[in-house]
């Protein structure tokens, strides 16, 4: 039986006015299936789908390096 991919969400706070740039850059990374500007406590949400959980750290680190990001929270779905 084929394993389901792991789904991870990143909640991101950005510098004011950098939301759309962060979304554009985040969409370039492997495994990112969706990235959107949101309103509320966070500015951007990114959905990551991984078949190989071992690359999670690398993907999250690459996204965190996008200019304009202030803070992230990573949520791994169960």
Mean pLDDT over residues 44-62, rounded?
A: 90
Q: How far apart are CA 41 and CA 6, in angstroms?
A: 25
User: Is residue 45 one of the residues assigned to a domain?
Assistant: yes
User: What's the CATH code of the domain at 45?
Assistant: 3.30.70.920
User: Is residue 1 one of the residues assigned to a domain?
Assistant: no
pLDDT at 54: 81
| Containing structural domain, residue 43 | 6-76
Work out the pLDDT band at 69, boundaries 50, 70, 90: very high
User: Is residue 11 one of the residues assigned to a domain?
Assistant: yes
Enter the pTM of the model: 0.91
SS3 for the chain, per residue? CCCCCEEEEEEEEECCCCHHHHHHHHCCCCCEEEEEECCCCCCEEEEEEECCHHHHHHHHHHHHCCCCEEEEEEEECC
pLDDT tens for each residue of 11-38 = 999 999 999 999 999 999 989 999 999 9
User: Is residue 40 one of the residues assigned to a domain?
Assistant: yes
Q: State the total domains in the chain.
A: 1
């Amino acid at each position: 039986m084929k394993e389901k991919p792991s789904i991870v969400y990143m909640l991101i706070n950005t510098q004011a006015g950098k939301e759309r740039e962060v979304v554009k850059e985040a969409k370039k990374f492997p495994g990112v299936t969706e990235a959107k500007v949101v309103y509320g406590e966070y500015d951007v949400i990114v959905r990551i789908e991984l078949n190989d959980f071992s690359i999670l750290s690398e993907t999250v680190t690459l996204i965190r390096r996008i200019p304009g990001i202030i803070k992230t929270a990573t949520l791994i779905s169960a």
